[in-house]
Amino acid sequence: MVRLLGANPTTQLRNALILVFLTRASFALVIWIMSGPAGFFTPDSDGYLRCAQSLLHGSFSIYGVPEIYRTPGYPLVLVPAVALGHPVVVGLLENFLFAVASAFLIWKIAEHLCPRDNRAAKWAVLLYCFEPVGFIYADKLMTETMFCTVLLLFIWLLLRFYSAATFKALVLFTVALGCATYVRPVTLYLGLWMVPLLFLFPRSLPWRQRAIKAMTFIVVFALFLAPWVIRVAKVSGYRGFSPAPDFISYFYLGAAVQGRLEHKSVADVRDKLGYYTDIVHDNYFKRHPDQKGWSQAQIFQFQGKEGRKVIAEHPFLYAFIHVKGCIVLMLDPGVTDILKPLSLYPEGGGLLDRVSDQGMSRSILWFVRVNPGGAALLVILVGQLMVYYFLALRGLGHLAFEPRVLLVWLVLYLILTSGGPIGLARYRAPIMPIVCIVAGAFIASKHSVASAQKVLREEVLPAAVD
């Protein structure tokens, strides 16, 4: 496969990017044949398209209500798709281009980490090309592909900052992180998570300069996000970047704890709490009639307070649930994400709810019984995932100390913030490109060792004997 990319580095990069595009487009064709346009949608896709439609009319809303839960990054990208009247075709094309951009950034990052041998870049892109989660969600009208691209841009610019710690380089990687946060708020607290690293690295700078740059990073990051915070406060009264953490605390984190305490499924607890999507509707007000006159901000603040209260009352139980969810995040191979767009698995419920309620082993046994074909695919994907992890763990030892710490630090953050009761294979999407990069470094190092041994055996030793 690597030889098919060509000998010239420019040709290799071009062919690798074409391969990434064609694999995504081919799978999209299969989905279209099996499921039609519905195969490219998830329960969240409609909300992003409605937000994009509202942007065409100078607002950011759903059903006329100002949208404060979703951020504008991905809906803004979907505006051309909606304006042209072909949201699926144009939206997917945008996703494919983001996937190609991600592959390009993976190549550049791998080249930066392993400058003496571009085989690391080739292998990293090939591993990314066939990595299931990124592969699948390029064919969904969702934020994953765009978010991965912007996050990889942040990593690349940060690594360049490590090489030349100028103010311009600092501003560039900070803005990239801000753009990623506008796509998905999960990186909101990454700003604080990065501060210790910026105090420690790059080690070529005196401690005082590192401290100044760390504080500058915080200021620039906060200023970049400030316009959206002001907008949210103005239209709703909510103080914060997004109320997503409040909603998640109530309907997912707190609900998971309540489900364990009451011996009920998480789905049943969420229904009892009045779970809703997009905007507050009657089901929620039936459960909370006293909140009918409340504003969006008041409702979200109530949800955040109640969710955090449940967690605070049962910290050890929640810690167990969160760790379990982190394990699910990293080990769930995403087989159901492949079967759903092919109409071979229901969009909601199923394996995910069973994992939360009955545990991993019992859920897998149930899945094997009801879907043997999917179970076979499950075995294949688990094997592939374990190979990727093995190669990446071995590859860490072949990286310089500073980038090694950075990549591990980022992966740890993404696991902790995306795990817990909401842990899904989908949320592993921004982690896997990092895994592919590090795995590519290991494969390249093994090739280098093999090449050195061959030269030693075929040229150096015979010359010494002569």
Task: Examine the pLDDT at 12 and tell me if it is beyond 50.
Answer: yes
Q: Specify the pLDDT at position 460.
A: 40
Containing H/E element for 61? strand 61-62
Long-range contacts of 360-363 (CB under 8 A, 24+ apart): 360/327, 360/328, 360/331
pLDDT bracket for residue 356 (50, 70, 90): low
Angle between helices 9-35 and 119-129 (to 10 degrees): 0
d(C-alpha 303, C-alpha 198), whole Å: 34
Q: Specify the pLDDT at position 457.
A: 56
Stretch 317-340: mean pLDDT = 90
Q: Compare 4 and 59 and report the one with higher pLDDT.
A: 59
Say how many CA atoms lie within 13 Å of 108 toward its Cβ: 16
Task: Examine the pLDDT at 367 and tell me if it is beyond 80.
Answer: no
pLDDT bracket for residue 452 (50, 70, 90): very low
Q: Which two tokens stand for residue 389?
A: 């992890």
pLDDT bracket for residue 461 (50, 70, 90): very low
Enter the pTM of the model.
Answer: 0.92
Q: Which two tokens stand for residue 455?
A: 């030269």
Low-confidence winner among 117-131, 279-293, 344-358, 438-452 (lowest mean pLDDT):
344-358
Low-confidence winner among 125-134, 200-209, 355-364 (lowest mean pLDDT):
355-364
Contacts (Cβ under 8 Å, ≥6 apart) of 394: 442
pLDDT bracket for residue 5 (50, 70, 90): low
At 240-261, the pLDDT tens digits run: 999 999 999 999 999 999 999 9
Measuring CA to CA, which residue among 411, 453, 448 is closest to residue 428? 411
Task: Examine the pLDDT at 123 and tell me if it is beyond 70.
Answer: yes
d(C-alpha 44, C-alpha 64), whole Å: 18
Q: Specify the pLDDT at position 456.
A: 38
* Residues 27, 30, 36, 39, Cα dihedral to 10°: -40
Measuring CA to CA, which residue among 187, 333, 306 is closest to residue 252? 306
Q: Which two tokens stand for residue 293?
A: 């006159």
Classify 65 as helix, strand or coil.
strand
Q: What are phi and psi of 50, to 5 degrees?
A: -65, -40
At 55-70, the pLDDT tens digits run: 999 999 998 899 999 9
Task: Examine the pLDDT at 283 and tell me if it is beyond 60.
Answer: yes
Q: Specify the pLDDT at position 270.
A: 92
Q: Specify the pLDDT at position 342.
A: 77
Q: Specify the pLDDT at position 290.
A: 93
Tokens 């995403």, located at residue: 334
Stretch 302-309: mean pLDDT = 97
Share of the chain above pLDDT 90, in %: 75
At 154-200, the pLDDT tens digits run: 999 999 999 999 999 999 999 999 999 999 999 999 999 999 999 99
The amino acid that residue 186 corresponds to is: V
d(C-alpha 27, C-alpha 58), whole Å: 35
Q: Specify the pLDDT at position 463.
A: 45
At 28-50, the pLDDT tens digits run: 999 999 999 999 999 899 999 99
Instruction: Tell me the DSSP string of 284-300.
Output: HHHH-GGGTT--HHHHH
Q: Specify the pLDDT at position 309.
A: 97
Contacts (Cβ under 8 Å, ≥6 apart) of 60: 51, 54, 66, 67, 72, 75
Q: Specify the pLDDT at position 339.
A: 84
Domain ranges for the chain, please list them. 3-243+370-465
